[in-house]
Amino acid sequence: MFPLMLRAVTCSLAIAFVAPVVAQDQPAATNPTSTVRPNIVWIMSEDNSKHYLKHFDETGVETPAIEAMAARGITFDRAFSNAPVCSTARTTLITACYGPRIGTQFHRRTELATLPRGVEMFPVWLRQSGYYTTNQSKEDYNAKKRLQPWDDSSKKASWKNRPSDETPFFHVVTFADSHEGRLHFGVDALQKPTKFDQKSVSLPPYFPDTQVFRHTAAFYRDRMSIIDEKVAGVIEQLTQAGELENTFVFYFGDHGGVLPRGKGYIYESGLHVPLVVRVPENYRGLVDRELGSRTKGFVSFIDFAPTVLNLAGVPLDEAGPIDGKAFLGKHTDATEVDSRDTTFGYADRMDEKYDLVRSVRVGDWKLIRSFESFQPDAMWADYRYKMLAYQQWRARYHTGKLNAVQSQFFKPRPPELLFNLADDPHEVNNLAGDPLHGDRLTELRMTLTEHLKRTNDLGFLTEAGMLKILDEPVANGKRLSQEIARYIDTANIAVMPWDQANKALLSAINSGDMLQRYWALVAASSIAASNRSANLDMAADDTFLKLVRRRALDPEPLVASRAAQLAAILQVEDPRPVFQRTLQLSQSSTEALQIFNMVRHVNALPGTPYPMGSKLFRLPFQPAPQGLIQQHLDHLDLP
């Protein structure tokens, strides 16, 4: 090993190194200065927010290995995934780009997006500068690879296989012991003891206090103890090889979760992840913080890639037009990082369930904007409801055994949710309607809207529309920036006072732009579901109803289906003939999948006079036997 002083001096020289581009199937050449650069290891645990580790939350389990890392490093108390589910979160990590900007925001995407010009999956830049890059072994990306980011990505991938002991390495290992699927146990499992005390386990106020929930919460903390043992194993391997003090080790969750209202939802339980970075003694000079310190500066997944590149001495301008910025390394300042206080979140389709939601958190204040707020959070997704806790929560709601807070998950949401996390960490007390916080609401609304427009959020093209531009999503987003801004403004009619929204809706529903009509109907549905007075006004307004009926005949299936959905919410028209026609005319399986979400929503309306079963519908294609559309059809026939 090089002496500490020599390593520190030569590391700064590596910053200026730019390696030549290599072909995708050509192994990266070894950098002559590679022996002086740090190794970097990412340890990811699947599906866990920060709430299950005592190091971050007093209700969590002790994790001695992670806590030992923190004693020799830095704890980031406010680290966030930008998306609350695997593929979207992992794509953000590997690209350092917001998913809705580059077309990678749909979980279980229909098609892979093409990366923006100048952007690569960031280990490419490490390989080209001489690093040996390995991934064990989960990828789950929503974008096409251009250049090859990994020397090895497999179950056997290991940094130990690098060409020589002097070759620096970047290694990623993902542990699935905390994955959602571990909670898909049967009722017999409830009789088995848990190491974590079920009597003392803490439940958030939105959960019913039952044996199922206590067992599930305690059992999941046991899973985090297993994760901690796996972390200890990685540290031991590095120690035995004499590489621990040459290696930055990151531990973090790959997004939040996994108890109900976690994974897939952009509450803190879905986005707020644990992050600890162990700082190696031989590279202590790259970090201007005390070991064992904590920071409340905001960092999010868009920032992880530039941080690794910065620590590795790879010029950040090599990473292309990314969204994040480094939070460790030579070119960062701890005081500046500590001052960072803003993060953005996004949730779109998760498996078969569509729900376009965006969020911004500034300090302890958070705004969640639900653009399809007429749908409850509890909208069905097969994989979610394999968990006993989800099943019991739903059953108790339908039998009237939940209180008001516990019932929120099953009811239509307000279009805007404003939370003061300092007083309300579980996000159950919506302050959006409180005049005392009107200025705060306006400020956060403007911040979020400006962000959506600046990033040309492709979610407002709908998934079916976005598929048409995935060859160059960013360039096309810029080309369509004015249209996207108009769709965002149209969708935001839902948060206008009703006397202003009424006139704006009539104009937008009558627009010649298909997507403006679409978002106007979505906004009207949000208003109808959240504002009883507006609902009655719409249902009694002949001019408005004539326009909705006209839109139900719209040649665009998605527009007509939204009109039918609105008519069902208002209970002024049977939507079934429209759904039958639009599904027969649907131009793609993606379009049909979204229409089936509308069918399922109407079918689940309390006391709906419009019940629907699978035999009601004919499709212009044969759905895949185990596919998402077939899941919708099968569920329509359940009692």
Please work out, in degrees rounded to the nearest 5, the angle formed at the alpha carbon of residue 172 by the alpha carbons of 78 and 6: 90
Distance CA 505, CA 518 (A): 11
CB neighbours of 131 closer than 8 A, spacing ≥ 6? Answer: 28, 31, 34, 37, 123, 167, 168, 169, 170, 312
Contact 586/592 with Cβ under 8 angstroms?
yes
Cα 196 → chain centroid: 29
Helix (H, G, I), strand (E, B) or coil at 7: helix
Distance CA 87, CA 255 (A): 10
Identity of the residue numbered 60? G
Distance CA 560, CA 385 (A): 30
- Confidence (pLDDT) at 638: 85
Distance CA 305, CA 287 (A): 17
- Confidence (pLDDT) at 631: 93
Put residue 282 in one of left, alpha, beta given phi > 0 → left and psi -120 to 50 → alpha. Answer: alpha
Pick from 268, 261, 257: nearest CA to 364 = 268
Distance CA 302, CA 83 (A): 10
Contact 457/358 with Cβ under 8 angstroms?
yes
- pLDDT tens sequence across 43-83: 999 999 999 999 999 999 999 999 999 999 999 999 999 99
Angle between helices 86-95 and 304-312 (to 10 degrees): 30
- Confidence (pLDDT) at 320: 76
Question: Which of the residues in the chain have pLDDT under 70?
Answer: 1-35
Distance CA 561, CA 576 (A): 10
- Confidence (pLDDT) at 317: 81
Give me the residues paired with residue 359 across strands: 345, 368
| Residue with token string 């998913």 | 99
- pLDDT tens sequence across 495-510: 999 999 999 999 999 9
Contact 99/319 with Cβ under 8 angstroms?
no
Distance CA 319, CA 357 (A): 28
Pick from 435, 538, 439: nearest CA to 493 = 538
Pick from 414, 448, 449: nearest CA to 434 = 414
Contact 276/56 with Cβ under 8 angstroms?
no
The greatest distance separating any two alpha carbons of the chain, rounded to the nearest whole angstrom, comes to 82
Contact 628/606 with Cβ under 8 angstroms?
no
- Confidence (pLDDT) at 506: 96
C-beta atoms surrounding 187 within 10 Å: 8
- Confidence (pLDDT) at 331: 87
Query: In angstroms, what is the C-alpha Rg of the chain?
Result: 25
